[in-house]
Amino acid sequence: MQGAKRLIVSLLIGLGVAGCQTDYAELPTFSAEHRLLQAVIEVPAGTNLEHRYDPATHEFAPQQRAGKDRVLEFLPYPGNYGFVPGTSTATGNPLPVLVLAESQPMGTVLEVLPLGLVLLDNAGALERVVLAVPARPSQQILLETRTWTDFTQRYPAAQQILRLWFQHRASPGIVRIMGWKDEQAAVEHVRSVMR
C-alpha cells in the first residue's frame, strides 16, 4: 500500500513538473527587478545547429529544411542567438537578438544591454537583429562596452566580423547588410514591436 502511494505521489509530482514548463514567449520584455532588456537564448555561441523556441510545445526544436536539421555551413554563431520575449515582428516572430558573450546554454534568460541594431535584407525581407551584451559585468567579454560608439571604437574588427557572418550564414547573396543603428534605435525598435 505504501509503495502504491509513493508511486502515485511520484506520478503526480512528475505531471506537475511537466506542466510547469517555462513559457519563454510570455516572459516580459524588460525584467521586473532591474528593468533591463531580456534575451532568451536559442542557439549558444560557437554552435552551428539552429534551434528555435516553439511556444506551442514550450520546447526548443531544431530548425528543419527539407526534413533535415538545419546546420550552418559557414562559421558557427559568433554570439548567443535568440529572441526578445514579449515582442512580435511583422512576420509574427519575436525580435531576434545576438548576445555577444561566452556561450550560454539553450533556454538561458539574460538581462542584456542593447548595443545596436543591424538591418538586414534577407531575401527581400527587412530583418532587424538587436546586438547586445550581458548586463551583468561578470558575463561580459567586451569590456567597458555599453554603447554603439564604445563597440565600434574599442572593437572595430568585430563589426566587420559580424557583417561577414550575417552575409554568409545563409546561401551567399541572400542576405545583405542594409545598415547599423545605435543603442537608442535598438531600444526604440524593441518598444515598437512589444506586444
pLDDT at 8 over 90: no
- 99, 39 contact by CB (below 8 A): yes
Q: Provide the 3-class DSSP secondary structure of residue 5.
A: helix
Give the tens place of pLDDT for each residue, 50-81. Answer: 999 999 999 999 998 888 888 888 899 999 99
Give the tens place of pLDDT for each residue, 145-183. Answer: 999 999 999 999 999 999 999 999 877 678 999 999 999
- 156, 166 contact by CB (below 8 A): no
The C-alpha cell at 17 is 513538473
Count CB atoms within 10 A of the CB of residue 186.
26
pLDDT at 18 over 50: no
Helix/strand number for the chain, H first, E second: 4, 10
Give the tens place of pLDDT for each residue, 140-155. Answer: 999 999 999 999 999 9
d(CA 85, CA 68): 27
pLDDT band for position 20 (cuts 50, 70, 90): low
- 169, 161 contact by CB (below 8 A): no
